[in-house]
Amino acid sequence: MQDHGGNLDIAIARFGGPAEDWIDLSTGINRGSYPVGEVPARRWRALPSRTDLEALHGAARQAYATKAPVAVLGGVQAAIQLLPYLTRPGRARILGPTYNEYAPTLDAAGWQVQETSDLDALAGVDLAVVVNPNNPDGRRHDPKALLVLASRVGRLVVDESFVDAVPGLSLAPEAGRKGLLVLRSFGKFYGLAGLRLGFVLGSEADVAAFAAMAGPWPVSGAAIEIGQRALLDRDWAAETTARLAHASLRLDDLALDAGWRLVGGTPLFRLYSVGDAIAAQARLAGARIWSRVFGSQPGWLRLGLPGNETEWTRLAAALRST
Amino acid sequence: MQDHGGNLDIAIARFGGPAEDWIDLSTGINRGSYPVGEVPARRWRALPSRTDLEALHGAARQAYATKAPVAVLGGVQAAIQLLPYLTRPGRARILGPTYNEYAPTLDAAGWQVQETSDLDALAGVDLAVVVNPNNPDGRRHDPKALLVLASRVGRLVVDESFVDAVPGLSLAPEAGRKGLLVLRSFGKFYGLAGLRLGFVLGSEADVAAFAAMAGPWPVSGAAIEIGQRALLDRDWAAETTARLAHASLRLDDLALDAGWRLVGGTPLFRLYSVGDAIAAQARLAGARIWSRVFGSQPGWLRLGLPGNETEWTRLAAALRST
Residue range A29-72, pLDDT digits in tens:
999 999 999 999 999 999 999 999 999 999 999 999 999 999 99
With an 8 Å Cβ cutoff, is A192 touching chain B? yes
From the CA atom positions of chain B, what is the Rg in Å?
A: 20
Taking CA atoms, A69 is separated from A203, A252, B153, in Å, by: 6, 38, 41
Taking CA atoms, A182 is separated from A68, A79, A150, B175, in Å, by: 10, 10, 11, 40
A160 and A183 Cβ atoms separated by less than 8 Å? yes
Q: Residue B322 above 70 pLDDT?
A: no
Q: Residue B111 above 70 pLDDT?
A: yes
pLDDT tens across B81-98, in order? 999 999 999 999 999 999
Q: Which of A9, A51, A108 sits opposite B49 (nearest CB)?
A: A9
With an 8 Å Cβ cutoff, is A225 touching chain B? no
Q: Residue B1 above 70 pLDDT?
A: no
Q: Residue A110 above 80 pLDDT?
A: yes
**B138 phi and psi angles, rounded to 5 deg:** 75, 5
Interface contacts (A, B; CB < 8 Å) = 152
Residue of B nearest to A187 (CA): B45
pLDDT tens across A159-171, in order? 999 999 999 999 9
Q: Which of A42, A78, A222 sits opposite B222 (nearest CB)?
A: A222
- Would you place residue A119 in the very low, low, confident or very high pLDDT band (cuts 50, 70, 90)? very high
- Would you place residue A97 in the very low, low, confident or very high pLDDT band (cuts 50, 70, 90)? very high
**B30 phi and psi angles, rounded to 5 deg:** -55, 125
CB contact under 8 A, B45 and A51: no
Quick one: DSSP state of residue B175? B
Three-state SS at B164: coil
Instruction: For residue B216, give every residue at least 6 positions away whose Cβ sits within 8 Å of its Cβ, in sequence order, or none.
Output: A1, A2, A4, A77, A101, B47
pLDDT tens across B277-310, in order? 999 999 999 999 999 999 889 999 999 999 999 9
Residue A289's region, left for phi above 0, alpha for psi from -120 to 50, else beta, is beta
Helical axes A234-257 vs A309-320, angle rounded to 10°: 20
A303 CA: distance to closest CA in chain B (Å): 15
Instruction: Please give, one letter per residue, the 3-state secondary structure of chain A.
Output: CCCCCCCHHHHHHHHCCCHHHCEECCCCCCCCCCCCCCCCHHHHHCCCCHHHHHHHHHHHHHHCCCCCCEEEECCHHHHHHHHHHCCCCCEEEEECCCCCCHHHHHHHCCCEEEEECCHHHHCCCCEEEEECCCCCCCCCCCHHHHHHHHCCCCEEEEECCCCCCCHHHCCHHHECECCEEEEEECCCCCCCHHHCCEEEECCHHHHHHHHHHHCCCCCCHHHHHHHHHHHCCHHHHHHHHHHHHHHHHHHHHHHHHCCCEEEEEECCEEEEECCCHHHHHHHHHHCCEECEEECCEEEEEEEECCCCHHHHHHHHHHHHCC
Buried (b) or exposed (e) across B93-109, using 16+ Cβ within 10 A?
Answer: bbbbbbbbbbbebbeeb
- Section B215-229 average pLDDT: 98
CB contact under 8 A, A45 and B192: yes
Three-state SS at B9: helix
- The span from the CA of A67 to the CA of B282, in Å, is 37
Residues 14-73 of A with CB under 8 A from B: 19, 24, 27, 29, 31, 33, 36, 39, 41-52
Three-state SS at B74: coil
Instruction: For residue B255, give every residue at least 6 positions away whose Cβ sits within 8 Å of its Cβ, in sequence order, or none.
Output: B262, B270, B272, B303, B319
Mean pLDDT, chain B, as a whole number?
96
Helices (H), B16-120: 41-45, 50-63, 76-82, 102-108
- Would you place residue A1 in the very low, low, confident or very high pLDDT band (cuts 50, 70, 90)? low
B27 CA: distance to closest CA in chain A (Å): 9
Q: Strand A155-159 and strand A127-131: pairing? A: parallel
With an 8 Å Cβ cutoff, is A76 touching chain B? no
A263 and A271 Cβ atoms separated by less than 8 Å? yes
pLDDT tens across A262-301, in order? 999 999 999 999 999 999 999 999 999 999 999 889 999 9
Residue percentage of chain A with pLDDT more than 70: 99
- The span from the CA of A258 to the CA of A263, in Å, is 15
Residue of B nearest to A33 (CA): B45
Buried (b) or exposed (e) across A98-137, using 16+ Cβ within 10 A?
Answer: bbbbbbebbeebebebeeeeebeebeebbbbbbbbbbbbb
pLDDT tens across B146-169, in order? 999 999 999 999 999 999 999 999
CB contact under 8 A, B46 and A33: no
pLDDT tens across A25-38, in order? 999 999 999 999 99
**A270 phi and psi angles, rounded to 5 deg:** -130, 140
Residue A83's region, left for phi above 0, alpha for psi from -120 to 50, else beta, is alpha
pLDDT of residue A322: 66
- Section A133-145 average pLDDT: 97
B122 and B153 Cβ atoms separated by less than 8 Å? yes
Three-state SS at B268: coil
Neighbours of B253 (CB within 10 A): 10
DSSP, residue by residue, B113-144: EEEES-GGGGTTSSEEEEESS-TTT-----HH
Three-state SS at B176: coil
- The span from the CA of B319 to the CA of B322, in Å, is 5
- Would you place residue A321 in the very low, low, confident or very high pLDDT band (cuts 50, 70, 90)? confident
pLDDT of residue A6: 78
pLDDT tens across A207-248, in order? 999 999 999 999 999 999 999 999 999 999 999 999 999 999
B49 vs A contacts (CB less than 8 Å): 6-9
Residue percentage of chain A with pLDDT more than 90: 96
B180 and B150 Cβ atoms separated by less than 8 Å? yes
- Section B40-44 average pLDDT: 96
- The span from the CA of B254 to the CA of B248, in Å, is 10
pLDDT tens across B231-253, in order? 999 999 999 999 999 999 999 99
- The span from the CA of B137 to the CA of B85, in Å, is 29
